[in-house]
Amino acid sequence: MAVNIRSVLEYVPCFRGKLMVVYIERSLQCADELMDALLDVDALHEIGVLLALVVEGDDADALQHLADKCEMHAAAVDVPLTAGQHAVDRVREIIERGQVALVASGASGRFDEGSVNLAVQLGAAKYICLQTDEIPSREGQPIFAIPESEVTSVSSGDCTHPDELLAAAEVCRRGVARVHLLNGKQRGVLLDELFSEEGVGTMVHTDSYCEIRPLREDDIPELLSMIARCVADAKLVQRTYETIRDNLHSYYVYTLDDTIVGCVALYPYVESDCAELGCLFIKENYEGHGYGRAMCRYVEEKARRLGFRRIFAVSQSAVDYFRDCLHYDQLSRNDLPLARLQALEESGRNSVVFGKML
């Protein structure tokens, strides 16, 4: 996965001054890929990320040797984390003087008490595990992100590595907002995970990594540029800054780490006791992950709470999606509210009408 330079520019301010604890599994310590990971760690340090590297086992000397080869500003703690508060204090001291702290866990396992306690005590924003396992999956599909609150239900079903997910969720509950499980044998995995909205590993999180929220006026330029290609291809109706601004309350966006990746609108027709689902769009690189379905369910529930009995959609390019994925019924144009029917006929678009009862 190539790192998008725009994503890098967006995320650098978010990461600067934040602490990340990176746990390195014992089986990776002699792997060629570890040198790549350390070069990535050094790049993160250069942009202002605070870092503590925890190596599984009793000795951090080998890690210090590799760090020296990378010309990394790093220093090793002379005792493992099993030494208790003294080791934690030494890690803090090294970080505060502007170096990457290297320390041995003194234990086995990715979530040993000493390593997790270090992240909690130092207020780490992320706990990152570099491991040799593939990331967790469900029904054959990788789990890229999952809220801590949903882990228990997922891990009891058709899911790989359920114990790892449960352990990661417990770290979140102890105060670390995000835990990442990464395949350390994948070159460049650290930067690919951090500098893209969706990532390449599994992230267990407690904060608002992904959310659907109302559109804000300062989002409009981003929304217009995002849908411009589909407007040019006649897949979406032309919209202007002013028309969106005047109907701002009708629009919602799907965000990953505050980056907009999709949109949807809900237009009410009070006199016909129905609402229209419109302007449904997902960025090309984020299709196929359920974001569109989530937005549709969101506005359906919104329409239901507003008291509407049914919802409809008019589409020229997403016929299969509404019929086969959302299971909307195909309707006659005459089922549309009169004002919407007139607008459709005036547009000359060969659109299909779909709807469902709420």
Report, as an integer, the average pLDDT of 117-130: 95
Boundary (domain end) residue, out of 175, 207, 239: 207
Q: Measured between alpha carbons, how far apart are the two ends of the chain, in Å?
A: 41
Helices (H), 47-106: 61-69, 85-96
Residue 197 confidence (pLDDT) above 70: no
Asked if residue 173 and residue 70 are part of one domain, the reply reads yes
Bigger pLDDT: 211 or 127?
Answer: 127
Strand-pairing partners, residue 124, are none
Asked if residue 280 and residue 171 are part of one domain, the reply reads no
pLDDT of residue 317: 84
Boundary (domain end) residue, out of 207, 238, 259: 207
Beta strands in the chain (DSSP E): 19-24, 50-55, 74-76, 100-104, 126-131, 137-138, 141-142, 145-147, 178-183, 202-205, 210-214, 251-256, 259-269, 274-282, 310-315, 329-331, 352-357
Q: What is the CATH number of the domain that holds 168?
A: 3.40.1160.10
Q: What is the CATH number of the domain that holds 321?
A: 3.40.630.30
pLDDT of residue 301: 94
Residue 185 tokens read as 């044998």
Contact 41, 72 (CB under 8 A): yes
pLDDT of residue 1: 47
CA atoms of 215 and 80, how far apart (whole Å): 49
- pTM of the shown model: 0.67
pLDDT of residue 353: 95
Asked if residue 125 and residue 26 are part of one domain, the reply reads yes
Question: What are 277-316's pLDDT values in tens digits?
Answer: 999 998 877 777 788 998 999 999 999 999 999 999 999 8
- C-alpha 125: how far from chain center: 15
Asked if residue 25 and residue 159 are part of one domain, the reply reads yes
Q: Which residue type sits at 319? A: V
Asked if residue 154 and residue 22 are part of one domain, the reply reads yes
Contact 118, 81 (CB under 8 A): yes
List Cβ<8 Å contacts ≥24 apart for 167-171.
167/110, 167/111, 168/111, 168/127, 168/129, 168/202, 168/204, 169/204, 170/111, 171/111, 171/116, 171/119, 171/120, 171/127, 171/204
CA atoms of 119 and 21, how far apart (whole Å): 6
Question: What are 233-284's pLDDT values in tens digits?
Answer: 655 677 889 999 999 999 999 987 778 889 999 999 999 999 999 999 988 7
Number of Cβ within a 10 Å radius of residue 51: 24
Helix axes 162-173, 113-121, angle to 10 degrees: 30
Residue 146 tokens read as 């999952």
Asked if residue 201 and residue 99 are part of one domain, the reply reads yes
Asked if residue 53 and residue 93 are part of one domain, the reply reads yes
Residue 206 confidence (pLDDT) above 90: no
Q: For 113-117, 125-129, 288-292, which range has the lowest pLDDT when averaged over its residues?
A: 288-292
Strand-pairing partners, residue 254, are 212, 262
Helix axes 113-121, 85-96, angle to 10 degrees: 50
CA atoms of 164 and 151, how far apart (whole Å): 10
Asked if residue 219 and residue 190 are part of one domain, the reply reads no
pLDDT of residue 11: 64
Question: What are 149-191's pLDDT values in tens digits?
Answer: 888 887 666 788 999 999 999 999 999 999 999 999 888 888 8
Residue 323 confidence (pLDDT) above 80: yes
Bigger pLDDT: 22 or 233?
Answer: 22
Which of the four pLDDT bands, split at 50, 70 and 90, describes residue 8? low
Asked if residue 175 and residue 43 are part of one domain, the reply reads yes
Asked if residue 309 and residue 333 are part of one domain, the reply reads yes
- Location of structure tokens 């990971």: 37
Q: What proportion of the chain, given as a percentage, has pLDDT over 90?
A: 58
- Location of structure tokens 């208790």: 84
Please give the residue range of the domain that contains residue 305: 211-357
Contact 183, 169 (CB under 8 A): no
Report, as an integer, the average pLDDT of 2-26: 75
pLDDT of residue 235: 59
Nearest one of 25, 20, 34 to 64, comparing CA atoms: 34
Boundary (domain end) residue, out of 186, 207, 228: 207
pLDDT of residue 232: 58
Q: What proportion of the chain, given as a percentage, has pLDDT over 70?
A: 92
Asked if residue 24 and residue 103 are part of one domain, the reply reads yes
Q: How many domains does the chain have?
A: 2
CA distances from residue 196 to 230, 256, 327 in whole angstroms, order as listed: 23, 9, 32
Asked if residue 186 and residue 218 are part of one domain, the reply reads no
CA atoms of 209 and 86, how far apart (whole Å): 34
Q: Which residue type sits at 109? A: G
